Amino acid sequence: MNELCTVILAGGQGTRMRSKLPKVAHQVAGLPMIAYVLEACRTLRAKRTLVVVGYQAERVREALAGEAIEFVLQQEQRGTGHALLQTRQALSGFDGDLLILSGDTPLLTSETLEGLLEAHRRARVKATILTAEVLDPTSYGRVVRDERGELLRIVEEPEATPQEREIREINAGVYCFAAVPLFEALQAIRPSAVKGELYLPDVVALLRERGGRVQAYRTADPDEARGINSRAELAEVHRLLWRKTAAWLLAEGITLLDPESAYVGPLVSVGPDSILYPNVTLEGRTAIGEGTTIHSGCRIRDAKIGDGTVILDGCLIQESEIGDGCQVGPYAHLRPQAKLRSKVKVGNFVEVKKSVIGEGSKVPHLTYIGDTSMGEKVNVGAGTITCNYDGFAKHRTVIEDEVFIGSNTNLVAPVSIGRGAIIAAGSTITEDVPADALAFGRAQQINKPGRAAALRAKRQQKR
């Protein structure tokens, strides 16, 4: 079997998006659209993956930070053929199969790519092109076949004749080529007479003229061929993704009280017997356990939530971990690197950031926990603040097991509260508290009898 390399073309601006952001970096269900193309390629076990960047190249690199890929710069954007030519040096000496994709097709699936590769290798052809038959082929390259149904060429819409524009079979922008003849043919293609660009599809006809066999592989799901070129198409792809994911969740034993308002991304996993209320948004690579309930108005991105947990209305949870049997909300905010162990309660109007909350601990309401390590069975009273920032640097708070913190308490970090300690309500704690100690950090209260009536009388006179 030939070795495989993949190339993803991501250098274009996407002018119809009318955006300063490069097209492939626009988000679809919480991830850049190009991330879905990479995800579809993972099962192929390619030797190398190259991404061709051009317009706002750094923004695309940032969007794909941490991925095991190589970037190739297309300094000028002169078409898809020109973009692929930029990889020639990086792929020098490679004589296997080259899978070429566009970074703006987030509906593409690994099953379709596997089918394309299998068909290409079985037929031993120079090129296999993914195609789809659609109701409205406007803006896509048309697939031209001969009287026997064999692939002749692909013609771009600006250069198509009126008869060719009637063709409903389109080029999906996914190709598998034998690498060596591909780069030889790329050297010979000529710029478009209309736009002056080098079109990669022109290689198909050229390979055929040189005696190479080419073929088309038609996908059963034309939605996979959808490229995103405008905000309207971005919105439509979102709708398609949500509907497909909702249908899959229902089939897998998840209750959706209103499937039309379940906004669940395709890389999200949800365990059986979970319940999603209306207007829930699950984005990125979120993983939800079994028997978990998520109420209305919650948005959860790149989070891991255990079994039997309840997320009440209006919560925002980002890049966090929540254990089994927890209760969060309503209106809680879990910021990145928040970790809730099992049976934790985080209540209404609580914000947690870069902190660990131990098993069985409770932070019921109106509290900020930041840069904190909290032990087990801690009870935090309303209005507690971990004062983690001194204007120059962040500092950590340590709260050991079975601590009780009274309401309206400020813990000025860096500070440590020992096991079993009690902090009196209304305290400002600036020094470490030993285990089992009772700590007060209040100003002395002074009562002045009769002064309230005198003060009111004085204010009346000023009116």
Task: Read off the CATH number of the domain in which 27 is found.
Answer: 3.90.550.10
Instruction: For the chain, give the number of residues.
Output: 463
pTM of this prediction? 0.89
Confidence of residue 106 (pLDDT cuts 50, 70, 90): very high
Give me 371's structure tokens: 């840069």
Whether 370 maps to a domain, the answer reads yes
Q: Does 250 lie in the same domain as 175?
A: no
Whether 431 maps to a domain, the answer reads yes
Q: Label residues 208-218 b or e (16+ Cβ within 10 Å = b).
A: beeebebbbbe
What does the pLDDT read at residue 458?
87
CA 173 from chain centre, in angstroms, equals: 23
Chain segment 372-411, per-residue pLDDT in tens: 999 999 999 999 999 999 999 999 999 999 999 999 999 9
333 is annotated as an active-site residue: no
Chain segment 4-27, per-residue pLDDT in tens: 999 999 998 888 899 999 999 999
Q: Does 291 lie in the same domain as 191?
A: no
Looking at residue 238, which CATH number applies to its domain? 2.160.10.10
Whether 451 maps to a domain, the answer reads no
Whether 453 maps to a domain, the answer reads no
Whether 346 maps to a domain, the answer reads yes
CA distance 450 to 448: 7
Q: Does 250 lie in the same domain as 159?
A: no
Q: Which of the listed residues 191, 225, 259 is the one where a domain comes to its end?
A: 225
What does the pLDDT read at residue 237?
95
Instruction: Specify the number of domains making up the chain.
Output: 2
For 152, the domain range is: 4-225
* Residue 131, H or E segment: strand 127-133
Give me 418's structure tokens: 């020992």
Q: Does 181 lie in the same domain as 321?
A: no
Q: Does 353 lie in the same domain as 339?
A: yes
Of residues 26, 82, 295, 365, which has the active-site annotation? Answer: 365
Whether 456 maps to a domain, the answer reads no
Q: DSSP character for 53?
A: E
Chain segment 245-282, per-residue pLDDT in tens: 999 999 999 999 999 999 999 999 999 999 999 999 99
Chain segment 223-241, per-residue pLDDT in tens: 999 999 999 999 999 999 9
Confidence of residue 192 (pLDDT cuts 50, 70, 90): confident
Pairing of strands 397-399, 127-133: unpaired
Q: Label residues 372-391 b or e (16+ Cβ within 10 Å = b).
A: bebbbebbbbbbbbbbbeee
